[in-house]
């Protein structure tokens, strides 16, 4: 049988223009005339063999004609990945965040003598009073260093809560209060590339990676990204990884297939997000693992798992540290059972019988003296809180109306009622409605719950540090492979675009390395049974001929360059028209299966 291979064509729209304004660019040079190239320009970032500078069109033209010039590219913007904040209640005891337990942080002990150091490239750390708050005491600051930046300021002053939250997830101290990091007390080095505005550039990140290396870091955490690749940034990350390091980067929070950078570089390990129930965090981006190059008959599509999500961890409603006084910690208990909750501007503590007000669209005297249990929907959150207060209710608990979304984060601006108000998840509705006593406790504090792949990434960074400290002779790439080989598979069998290989598991990865050594073994098991595939080309390299055996069923699926090219009869052979100037990978699987397959061949 002969088939025409399906080719995936990608169309791009280019916006063309000749803008007169200056544009931030990265200029690379051969070192022979670096100062000459910089002369007359304000250098924004000065790297090894490159610098960042603002240039208009005339400036770009002049730069290209100078001695020593090699290349010029846009200095791509980078921003912190978004999040939604709420709270937990770590005021009286040390809380074990669900993401810490989910990656088996409680089942493995950090070896502080192994020399692990995690470099956190973010918005600084709240050691001293910063832009938004004061010192958070849930860190061992004797184990933390950093680099200052003339643009963003001291590393030890927060430029927004994001960096302190990320650092806490990685390494908050095991000190009996607050929370515990996945690798509690691990050495950290802080590079402050963002302030509270949340913006930076790829040149800042390239420089930050070099500073991480100079500080002796093994692991870099980047809970940030943007939509454009940059070779200077990529080269810095690749060099760090080639020298034995590991770089974890957030996939992004737009809930689409966009590939964010620096997560999309092959050297980076892209991290996706899940919730406490091992389901997907809805906003986690899931770019394709395929890349198409060339045009027309020279077009080829290849599959690379290193340009899409490789691993996942808790990213939804993650409790961690924030600058002192900026968190709003909320806790709800129903007959003594803890219920996760999100705070609002209305704080306070109340205990009373619960009363179900439905969607609380009117005043209800039955709520007098009770905790109002309110379903989300139909009217604003502010009106729900007002109707509870006007009914004599002592606190308002609004229950989400969508399963899987987690706690409901409420903006109650305009609410005149001052009763404590919190939001909870749909999954806890039955627990609350069936309780005889409900306690609402919402106060300002030093901890908050954020959501985003920004939170999943430091969870994996902490897990990697934990595992690596127990196997210090391994390289970063070997730790990366071990995490993938032992991840909990929660999506499609094997690797998929949403979860990668699945949820990281610290203890399982450490056990794997103990058994197999740093070199480990194959991530995917070899094909089972006797299913085999062989092939050849003919007609001057324009036809691929494949032959297989050992598969069951009347039809099989043929995968070309990682994509299902359709079904064909299971008669043992097929031919496809190809371009003689390209290479193609083939694999044949039983119909509907991605695991019962032949070996893969390249023609």
pLDDT tens digits along 495-512: 999 999 999 999 999 999
Q: 204 in a domain, yes or no?
A: yes
Q: Percent of the chain scored above 90 by pLDDT?
A: 64
Q: Are residues 273 and 334 in the same domain?
A: no
pLDDT above 60 (res 81) = no
Q: 4 in a domain, yes or no?
A: no
Supply the pLDDT for residue 32. Answer: 94
Q: Are residues 141 and 162 in the same domain?
A: yes
Q: Are residues 237 and 143 in the same domain?
A: yes
Confidence label for 321 from pLDDT (cuts 50, 70 and 90): very high
How many domains are contained in the chain?
Answer: 4
Supply the pLDDT for residue 521. Answer: 57
Q: Percent of the chain scored above 70 by pLDDT?
A: 93
pLDDT tens digits along 218-253: 999 999 999 899 999 999 999 999 999 999 999 999
Give me the residue label for tokens 């099989």. Answer: 556
Q: Are residues 346 and 441 in the same domain?
A: yes
Q: 38 in a domain, yes or no?
A: yes
Q: Is 139 helix (H, G, I), strand (E, B) or coil?
A: coil
Confidence label for 458 from pLDDT (cuts 50, 70 and 90): very high
Q: Are residues 403 and 476 in the same domain?
A: no
Interval 174-196 mean pLDDT: 93
Q: 3 in a domain, yes or no?
A: no
Q: Are residues 122 and 30 in the same domain?
A: no
- The parent domain of residue 203 ranges over 93-320+452-516
Q: 86 in a domain, yes or no?
A: no
Supply the pLDDT for residue 79. Answer: 64
Question: Within 10 Å of residue 242's Cβ, how many Cβ atoms?
Answer: 12
Q: Looking at residue 557, which CATH number applies to its domain? A: 2.60.40
Q: Looking at residue 44, which CATH number applies to its domain? A: 3.30.70
Interval 564-592 mean pLDDT: 87
Q: Are residues 50 and 188 in the same domain?
A: no
Phi then psi for residue 148, to 5 deg, are -80, 165
With CA atoms as reference, report the closest residue to 100 among 513, 503, 427, 424: 503
Q: Looking at residue 363, which CATH number applies to its domain? A: 3.50.30.30
Q: Are residues 308 and 338 in the same domain?
A: no
Confidence label for 181 from pLDDT (cuts 50, 70 and 90): very high
Fill in the DSSP letter of residue 188: E
Of 9-13, 63-67, 105-109, 111-115, minimum mean pLDDT range: 9-13
Interval 427-445 mean pLDDT: 91
Q: Looking at residue 491, which CATH number applies to its domain? A: 3.40.50.200
Q: Domain end: 426, 445, 464, which one?
A: 445
Q: Is 508 helix (H, G, I), strand (E, B) or coil?
A: helix
Average pLDDT over the chain reads 88
Provide the CA 512 distance to its chain's centre, in angstroms. Answer: 24
Confidence label for 99 from pLDDT (cuts 50, 70 and 90): very high
Q: 172 in a domain, yes or no?
A: yes
Supply the pLDDT for residue 369. Answer: 97
Q: 393 in a domain, yes or no?
A: yes
Q: Is 284 helix (H, G, I), strand (E, B) or coil?
A: coil
Q: Are residues 217 and 255 in the same domain?
A: yes
Q: Domain end: 484, 516, 548, which one?
A: 516
Structure tokens at 564: 């299902």
User: When comparing pLDDT for 317 and 266, which is higher?
Assistant: 266
Q: Are residues 342 and 391 in the same domain?
A: yes
Q: 363 in a domain, yes or no?
A: yes
DSSP labels, 525-548? PPPPTT-EEEEEEETTTTEEEEEE
Supply the pLDDT for residue 198. Answer: 66
Confidence label for 92 from pLDDT (cuts 50, 70 and 90): low
Q: Are residues 283 and 134 in the same domain?
A: yes
Q: Are residues 154 and 262 in the same domain?
A: yes
pTM assigned to the model: 0.72
Of 346-350, 476-480, 514-518, 592-596, minimum mean pLDDT range: 592-596
Q: Domain end: 12, 41, 75, which one?
A: 75
With CA atoms as reference, report the closest residue to 206 among 248, 241, 234, 247: 234
Question: Within 10 Å of residue 12's Cβ, how many Cβ atoms?
Answer: 4
Interval 467-492 mean pLDDT: 96
Helices (H) and strands (E) in the chain, counts: 11, 35
């Amino acid at each position: 049988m002969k088939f025409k291979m399906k080719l995936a064509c990608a169309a791009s729209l280019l916006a063309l223009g000749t803008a007169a304004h200056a544009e931030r660019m990265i200029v690379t040079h051969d070192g022979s005339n670096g100062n000459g190239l910089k002369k007359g320009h304000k250098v924004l970032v000065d790297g090894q063999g490159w610098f960042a500078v603002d240039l208009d069109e005339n400036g770009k033209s002049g730069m290209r004609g100078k001695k020593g010039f090699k290349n010029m590219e846009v200095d791509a913007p980078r921003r912190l990945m978004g999040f939604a904040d709420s709270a937990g209640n770590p005021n009286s005891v040390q809380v074990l965040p669900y993401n810490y337990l989910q990656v088996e942080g409680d089942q493995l002990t950090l070896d502080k003598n192994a020399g692990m150091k995690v470099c956190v490239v973010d918005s600084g750390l709240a050691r001293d009073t910063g832009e938004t708050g004061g010192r958070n005491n849930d860190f061992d600051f004797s184990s933390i260093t950093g680099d200052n930046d003339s643009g963003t300021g001291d590393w030890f002053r927060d430029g927004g809560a994001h960096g302190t939250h990320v650092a806490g997830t990685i390494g908050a101290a095991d000190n009996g209060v607050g929370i515990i990091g996945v690798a509690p007390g691990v050495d950290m080095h802080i590079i402050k590339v963002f302030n509270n505005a949340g913006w930076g550039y790829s040149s800042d990140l390239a420089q930050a990676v070099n500073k991480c290396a100079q500080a002796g870091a093994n692991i870099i955490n980047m809970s940030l990204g943007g939509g454009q690749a940059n070779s200077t940034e990529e080269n810095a990350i690749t060099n760090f990884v080639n020298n034995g390091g590991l770089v974890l980067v957030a996939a992004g929070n737009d809930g689409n297939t966009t590939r964010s950078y620096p997560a999309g570089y092959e050297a980076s390990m892209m991290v996706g997000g899940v919730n406490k129930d091992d389901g997907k965090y809805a906003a986690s981006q899931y770019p394709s693992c395929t890349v198409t190059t060339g045009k027309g008959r020279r077009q080829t599509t290849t599959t690379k798992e290193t340009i899409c999500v490789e691993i996942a961890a808790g990213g939804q409603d993650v409790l961690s540290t924030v600058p002192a006084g900026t968190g709003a910690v909320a806790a709800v208990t129903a007959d003594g059972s803890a219920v996760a909750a999100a705070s609002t501007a209305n704080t306070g503590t109340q205990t009373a019988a619960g009363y179900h007000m439905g969607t609380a669209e009117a005043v209800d005297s039955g709520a007098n003296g009770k905790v109002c249990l309110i379903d989300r929907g139909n009217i604003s959150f502010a009106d729900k809180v007002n109707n509870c207060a006007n009914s004599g209710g002592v606190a308002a608990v609004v229950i989400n109306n969508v399963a899987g979304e987690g706690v409901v984060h409420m903006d109650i601006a305009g609410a005149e009622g001052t009763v404590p108000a919190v939001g909870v998840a749909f999954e806890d509705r039955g627990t609350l409605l069936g309780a005889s006593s409900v306690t609402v406790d919402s106060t300002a504090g030093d901890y908050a719950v954020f959501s985003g792949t920004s939170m999943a990434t430091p969870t994996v960074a902490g897990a990697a540090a934990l595992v690596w400290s127990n196997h210090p002779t391994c390289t970063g790439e070997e730790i990366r492979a071990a995490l993938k080989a032992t991840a909990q598979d929660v999506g499609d069998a094997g690797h998929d675009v949403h979860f990668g290989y699945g949820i990281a598991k610290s203890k399982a990865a450490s056990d794997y390395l103990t058994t197999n050594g740093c070199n480990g073994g194959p991530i995917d098991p070899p094909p089972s049974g006797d299913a085999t595939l062989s092939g050849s080309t003919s007609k001057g390299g324009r036809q691929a001929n494949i032959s297989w055996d050992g598969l069951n069923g009347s039809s099989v699926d043929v995968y070309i360059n990682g994509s299902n090219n359709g079904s064909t009869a299971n008669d043992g052979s097929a031919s496809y028209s190809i371009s003689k100037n390209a290479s193609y990978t083939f694999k044949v699987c039983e119909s509907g299966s991605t695991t019962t397959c032949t070996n893969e061949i390249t023609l």
